Amino acid sequence: QKEVEQNSGPLSVPEGAIASLNCTYSDRGSQSFFWYRQYSGKSPELIMFIYSNGDKEDGRFTAQLNKASQYVSLLIRDSQPSDSATYLCAVNGGGATNKLIFGTGTLLAVQP
Amino acid sequence: SAVISQKPSRDICQRGTSLTIQCQVDSQVTMMFWYRQQPGQSLTLIATANQGSEATYESGFVIDKFPISRPNLTFSTLTVSNMSPEDSSIYLCSVERGYEQYFGPGTRLTVT
């Protein structure tokens, strides 16, 4: 059973701080990794994806991937109250259908 | 990205009845996916719908309960059959563009 693990939180950070969200996965064959943001009552919104070891930056967001340790993280710099949401980590297990396996999500609360 | 619409956005249904959810995307896609998100939980893949072939169902989901149609490259339907209160959930379709998956707004189903 392929698994994706996240701390459910809530992770509380003050406005302007760096929020660090972590995710581990069980399948070493996983090839690409995604972070989604989900506001309460809304559908998931893709923030970033990463498939190579190292860092990938997009604005205030940085995704970090370490395949040897089987973890992927998301850093949010200069956190804003509008970043308060559940962040879902998803892993593409490969194969013909490219289906995603989702973690349970981490609830982030940015305190003004 | 992709512009995806779903109908209905929400519905309240009686047990034993069926509901068909529609998913429309703004341009042609090969793969469409149907997910379920139960209250307070993460996303679980129900099935993958590839145009011109039978849908591929995940463990725990069967065609008799969740029949899927995929008549063309921009449209799919998911039917939730013989509903029970345990089927109360948000149902989401998603489409694949390159490496990325994008989600529709979801259908919130309540079964009484």
Q: What is the pLDDT of residue B54?
A: 87
Is residue A54 within 8 Å of residue A43, measured between CB atoms? no
In tens, the pLDDT along B75-99 reads 999 999 999 999 999 999 999 888 8
Nearest CA in chain A to B93: A43
Rg of chain B over all Cα atoms, to the nearest angstrom: 13
CB contact under 8 A, B99 and A44: no
Q: What is the pLDDT of residue B112?
A: 96
Dihedral over alpha carbons A3, A64, A111, A86 (to 10 degrees): -30
In tens, the pLDDT along B28-71 reads 998 999 999 998 888 999 999 988 888 999 999 999 999 999 99
Smallest Cβ distance to B101: which of A51, A100, A103? A100
In tens, the pLDDT along A71-92 reads 999 999 999 999 999 999 999 8
Q: What is the pLDDT of residue A97?
A: 63
Nearest CA in chain B to A46: B102
Smallest Cβ distance to B106: which of A43, A51, A100? A43
Tell me, letter by letter, the H, E, C secondary structure of A1-57: CCCEEECCCCEEEECCCCEEEEEEECCCCCCEEEEEEECCCCCCEEEEEECCCEEEE
Question: pLDDT class for A28, splitting at 50, 70, 90?
Answer: confident
Q: What is the pLDDT of residue B9?
A: 97
Tell me the two tokens of residue A19.
Answer: 């929020």
Smallest Cβ distance to B102: which of A46, A103, A105? A46
Q: What is the pLDDT of residue B49?
A: 93
Residue A95 confidence (pLDDT) above 70: no
In tens, the pLDDT along A30-67 reads 889 999 999 999 999 999 999 999 999 999 999 999 99
Q: How far is A77 from chain B (nearest CA, A)?
A: 23
Question: pLDDT class for A99, splitting at 50, 70, 90?
Answer: confident
CB contact under 8 A, A105 and B31: no
Q: What is the pLDDT of residue A94?
A: 64
Cα dist from A25 to A73, A78, A87, B42, B76, whole Å: 11, 27, 15, 15, 31
Q: What is the pLDDT of residue B10?
A: 97
